[in-house]
Amino acid sequence: MLTNGIQVPVLIFGIGATELLLIILVLVLLFGSKKIPEIARGLGRSMSEFKKGMKESEDEPKEGEKKDAPPPAK
């Protein structure tokens, strides 16, 4: 984004660097520096499990359908 010839970085959802640093500071104050990696690790694991479950549900045949059977003729 250019404003009067000055390039201003815009991050996700319009959050700038200052706001991002303020959010990180608040998180460190609330949870402590040792707890944040544990929270992030747990969040990552839960997201991967969710994605794996979504993929498995797409692969399963729906009720009444057989995997190898051709679709019924109309």
DSSP type of residue 43: H
Confidence band of 8 (pLDDT split at 50, 70, 90): low
Which pLDDT score, from 0 to 100, does residue 44 have? 95
Coil/strand/helix, residue 2 = strand
Instruction: Taking residues 37-59, report their average pLDDT.
Output: 91
Q: Is the pLDDT of residue 56 over 80?
A: yes
The residue ranges of every structural domain in the chain are: 2-57
- CA distances in angstroms from 73 to 25, 26, 40, 47, 70, listed in the order given: 63, 62, 51, 40, 9
Whether the model clears a pTM of 0.85, i.e. scores above it, the answer is no
Q: Is the pLDDT of residue 17 over 60?
A: yes
